[in-house]
Amino acid sequence: MSDGQGRRRVVITGMGAVTPCGLDAEQTWQSVRAGRSGVSAVEGFEGHVRIAAQVKDFEPERYMEHRSVRKTDRFAQFAVAAATMAVEDAGIDIRADAERIGCSIGTGIGGLKTEEVAHRKLFDAGPDRLNPFWVTALIPNMGAAEISMALGTRGPLTTECTACAASAMSIGNGVLFIRAGMADAMLVGGVEAPVVPLGLGGFGTMRALSRRNDDPEGASRPFDLGRDGFILAEGGAVLVIEELERARARGAHIYAEIVGYGMSSDAHHVTEPDPVGGNPARAMRNAMVDGGVTPEMIAYVNAHGTSTPAGDTAETKALKLALGEERAYQIPTSSTKSETGHLLGAAGALETIITALAMRDSFVPPTINQTDPDPDCDLDYVPNTGRAADVPYALTNSFGFGGHNAVIVLRRWDADAAA
């Protein structure tokens, strides 16, 4: 079945996640819905920043053989775990149709812990004593590669490495592959494992991270006047997306339809966002046009909302430009990074999952820690407490260092969407 533009329709049929708020997608959603923070103190680190959103009690051996765990970085372990859960949730038989099923997994950095360990080994013991597996554990494509090897996909295999927009672009590219007939189903998403001294120290010296070390759970406060930086987070999120008729033929449960994908670039600065908001707004408009959706149809926005002074103000401006100022004030908009922290290259995929589940449950999650709203961030940011809301269409934003902008538009799967 094609959409109104004659294209193959793409739906979400499986979800998997490993996050600071839970070890699966449903547990994560329930925590976010309730406004529970996944941020805590980082033990054993003595830098300026000593808080982060870490995945607790993760056991990679549940998803990988022990020898594979020894040869891979934590980010790739998150990838295999999240993908395995997504495939099980979807009930899809990959090996029966492997050449028509692909994998597109984004990451902003890749194996940062592996790099840290190899660097120490290089100076302690010399280059000839480096671990022979350190290169393959480090490189960013290994999240996608490990999934493909573990689960047997033989279709398109790609990795987006566009900072905090990486996993949203991986989802979008998966949609394009299916629309173009290059695949019938894709495993799409993102992974990140930056919560190591090199990551905390690097982002910390950039002054990008919050220094509210005495209040971890209150440190991520998007759109609040007292925000002072984002919270570094780790984890992974993977979705199974597939062509609608294929999903229907096998009786798959459908969470939502991906109707729109839009991109743009700022051409502005390495780390600072477009201060006017025009270029991120263009990505939102592109996504709505791609999906045949108007601002009046959007009922919820999952904002990029990192809790940085410049970023949140710029996104507020962008939302007003993209949706029209009057409509922007009417749409509930929340940043779930207030609960999860910022998963960098995995953020867009996790927030796509959260948005789809918000649509399913007719409930928009809160932006927690809004005790003193910034007058320059004056939209309905669902402060502190989530609320019931009918959400037939939703938009989720992802913006990355270097000016990478990616936006996904979802449609709730119900009787109207099934037509």
Looking at the structure, tell me whether residues 172 and 315 fall in a common domain: no
Which residues have C-beta within 8 Å of that of residue 174, sequence separation ≥ 6? Answer: 10, 102, 104, 183, 186, 187, 188, 241
- Residues 242-290: tens digit of each pLDDT: 999 999 999 999 999 999 999 999 999 998 988 999 999 999 999 999 9
pLDDT higher than threshold 60 for residue 41: yes
> Average pLDDT, stretch 285-298?
98
Distances in Å between the Cα of 227 and the Cα atoms of 136, 200, 202, 270, 285 are 38, 18, 19, 21, 28
> Are 234 and 283 contained in the same domain?
no
Confidence of residue 119 (pLDDT cuts 50, 70, 90): confident
Catalytic site residues? Answer: 164, 304, 342
On the question of pLDDT at 321 being above 90, the answer is: yes
**Residue 103 pLDDT:** 98
Residue 417 has pLDDT above 60, yes or no: no
- Looking at 210, 228, 249, which one is the last position of a domain? 249
Query: What's the pLDDT at 130?
Result: 84
Residue 254 located in a structural domain: no
Q: What number is the average pLDDT over the span 109-120? A: 90
Flag whether pLDDT at 33 surpasses 60: yes
Q: Are residues 244 and 267 in the same domain?
A: no
- The number of domains in the chain is 2
Whether residue 58 is found in the same domain as residue 143: yes
Which residues form the domain of 270?
A: 261-412
Considering the entire predicted model, what is its pTM? 0.96
Whether 344 and 244 share a structural domain: no
> Environment class of residue 357 by beta-carbon count within 10 Å: exposed (0-12), middle (13-18) or buried (19+)?
buried
116 vs 92, higher pLDDT: 92
Query: Domain of 123: which CATH number?
Result: 3.40.47.10
pLDDT at 152: 98
On the question of pLDDT at 418 being above 60, the answer is no
Residue 36 has pLDDT above 70, yes or no: yes
What pLDDT, on a 0 to 100 scale, did the predictor assign at position 54? 97
